[in-house]
Chain A
Amino acid sequence: MSAEANIRTLTIDEVDVSARADQTILEAAREHNIEIPTLCHLEGLSEVGACRLCLVQVKGARRLLPACVTRVEEGMEVTTHSPRIDRYRTMVLELFFAERNHVCSVCVANGNCELQTLALRLGMTHVEMPYQYPQLPVDASHPRFTVDHNRCVLCTRCVRVCGEIEGANTWGVMGRGAQSLVITDLKEPWGESETCTSCGKCVQVCPTGALFEKSRAGMRAQKHPEFLPYLRIMREGEQQ
């Protein structure tokens, strides 16, 4: 196949863009500085399409499509913002806030939280839905890190980074529905996990204060997930 055949042209928010055929709408949009909100997506990890914040309207499609997993197609007409989509996103964010105990003022990630940033950016000033106030455990058994399920959004970035990049597969998900929890090994305390290498990648990719390094809060708790694409490229280079 010639190089030209691999290029697709489409419009995103009425801007003409071109992208490789294997790129997603999200990648194409970000390359052209068109912002689509995301939470479970992280460059360097596989996509799960779970947070539903990147839903966009594609002309001719029956439903809204997640931009993170939808490949570009020739002549596609994508709308990333409309009153309807924006309203859905705000409500989805509210659902996130209301389902667990997201109280920014007392959170270690205050100021460094992707959920908080999204709320600010999408103009979600308050939560109309009743908070669920679930009673969830905090596991501080690991010498360096803590998991606080009250702040977890179940994006599974920790599960994916541990399996895909570190290769330890320490993290997993148990339970279903609102009872889902991320767990280490077979729900052993994190500090007693035999597979955890204490690499801390899960902490760096966690979008909220659910996973954090002990004795670091506020400005000192900045996370650095930007190492992932670099690691991935280096690993793939080694394999070739």
Chain B
Amino acid sequence: MNAEELQQLAAEARDERPQFDYEVNVCMGTGCLSQHSDRVKNALEKEAEISGRKCHVRRTGCMGLCAAGPMVLVEPAETRYGHVHEGDAQEIVASLGGDPVARLDPQLRGYFEGQKHVVLENSGHIDPEKIEEYIARDGYEALVKAVTEMSPGQVIEQIMKSGLRGRGGGGYPTGLKWDTVAKVKGAQKYVICNGDEGDPGAFMDRSVLESDPQRVIEGMAIAAYAIGAAKGYIYVRAEYPLAVQRLTVALQQARRRGLLGSGICETTFNFDIDIRLGAGAFVCGEETALIASIEGKRGTPRPRPPYPAVSGLWGAPTLINNVETFANVAPILRHGGEWFSSMGTARSKGTKVFALTGKIQRTGLVEVPMGMTLRQIIFGIGGGVPDGRKFKAVQTGGPSGGCLPEEHLDLSISYDALISAGSMMGSGGMIVMDDTSCMVSVARFFMEFCMTESCGKCVPCRAGTVQMYELLTRITKGVATHRDLDRLTDLCEVVGATSLCGLGQTAPNPVLSTLRYFRHEYLAHIDEKRCPAGVCEIGTGHPADSAEVTVAGEVHV
């Protein structure tokens, strides 16, 4: 396919739209599907046919507000309905062109105002299994432009200018990474997309893959052109069956349209992508473990350097980026690096998708410009804490991140600000907690996660997380002493400083951040044998409760 053919295809797809007066988009993401949005879609289609109106009912990906699922979006009026049932179909179709169905309009606008959609610009607007709809919204324009008009160096320059940083959590400058891989000599190079999203409460990558898979494929193809790779892999968790299915369809369609394969855009550029399924190990989100897993080996990390940019998949130079990072690439090339860097803060550019979950009114996906405050996201967009309870903390960054208290609510979100506050950006999970959450239990939950997800290769992570988990358990049982707290602090330091990979190095973070901001809760458990949030079942002071755990004696060897 060349530029003219792409434009023609886009025009054809756009011409189809005026045939319909109305478009009714039904979310068919995992969240809404679990609420039977497929039945809603069938009912809407049936009603539209009966009514005889020119109405197109479309399957789309995630619309963001998962708490109000199943979601329906009516265009061109831009009316959003939440909690739609099959029985509502007739009313929705009848209302087309008139006033929205008041009964179904639960004031959803507040959620969408203040958001800025770049990664999610097509989510909820296109059918993820139709490449034509992606192309109609300027899809693949960036790839065709890159391959036919730009040199690889110029592509990298735009990414550098954009200031895009890795969206998987580390925040490494994407342009610099591309430039490094481009400069390393190698006959064979690889592009890998990391879709092994595993943080508890995070579902950004899943939504992007389910709602707009072509965007990720286009980003990977542009990256491949920039660094000189001919082969790519998308590593997705097997727990995301819908994302895998939509990716498979998307890859087939891209190949059929000549946007993947050999001689892309009638040039000498060849690139194709295979899917690899993760078998459920959190550690495989770590790049060297992920590469080992693709190679068919045990998914364990190895020491870096050498970095994958120099020696990655099968020893070849490898570019590995997160789903959301690749999803940002096409818009950057379409609008230019300056456009992207005009959004965000001094050192964190663009937008970021967050998965808002926990004790919050409106659970779902939000995409906001960097620099927005936590308060704006949680209380503005998310609607605050439900049931009149009091906000206590927000956990960001998954098991590698930390819990930030109320006094940090006015923190502007950026990679650096979050790290200096003792948490991190991570992949974008944001778990809100109210005064019914015990912070020691939260720390214990994340430590349990790290303990069970440790690969077992290096001893500080393998054995240190077990020891820390037991100490946290002692605290939640009310049998810990101040010596245990000191030991916990020591272990946090050792495990953080000596572990092999990021999983172990950041495993103490939830403990450290809760110790920093909620030390009084730890002390209440230890000194007063009391859980301030009333979560922990602290023993009644019966000798039998404490006997088994107080013998942390010293064993001579």
Contact = CB atoms under 8 A, between A and B. Distances in A.
Contacts of A64: 497-498
B457 A50 contact: yes
Contacts of A178: 451, 454, 456, 462-463, 466
B454 A177 contact: yes
A52 B458 contact: yes
Nearest to B493: A88
Interface stretch (B133-141, B266-274, B549-557): B549-557
A99 B462 contact: yes
A66 interface: yes
Contacts, number: 112
Contact of B303 (A66, A128, A131): A66
**Most A CB atoms within 10 A — which of B298, B457, B499?**
B457
Nearest to B464: A95
B462 A154 contact: yes
A88 B498 contact: yes
A119 B557 CA distance: 9
Contacts of B459: 50-52, 92, 95-96, 99, 153-154
Nearest to A131: B555
Interface residues of A, number: 42
B455 interface: yes
Contacts of B453: 176-177
B208 to A, nearest CB: 28
Interface string A115-153: 010010000011111111000000000000000000001
Nearest to B498: A52
Interface string A81-101: 000000010011001111100
Given A48-B302, A88-B498, A126-B554, A154 B460 contact: no
A51 B303 contact: no
A104 B464 CA distance: 22
Contact of A95 (B281, B298, B467, B556): B467
Nearest to A89: B498
A97 to B, nearest CB: 6
Contacts of A173: 298, 456
B557 A63 contact: no
Contacts of A34: none
B458 A99 contact: no
Contacts of B556: 125-126
A129 B491 CA distance: 10
A51 to B, nearest CB: 6
A128 B554 contact: yes
B557 A127 contact: yes
Interface string A42-83: 000001111110010000000110100100000000000000
Contact of A128 (B281, B466, B487): B487
Nearest to B505: A63
B548 to A, nearest CB: 11
A130 B498 contact: no
A172 B297 CA distance: 11
A52 B456 contact: no
A172 to B, nearest CB: 8
Contact of B470 (A119, A126, A130, A177): A130
Contacts of B302: 48-49
A237 interface: no
Interface in A175-197: 175-180
A165 B554 CA distance: 40
A3 B190 CA distance: 34
B3 interface: no
Contacts of B442: none
Contacts of A49: 302-303, 458, 500
Nearest to A174: B298
Given A52-B500, A95-B464, A99-B463, A177 B554 contact: no
B460 A92 contact: yes
A176 B454 contact: yes
Interface in B477-508: 487, 490-491, 494, 497-500, 505
A41 interface: no
A127 B452 CA distance: 24
Interface in B401-420: none
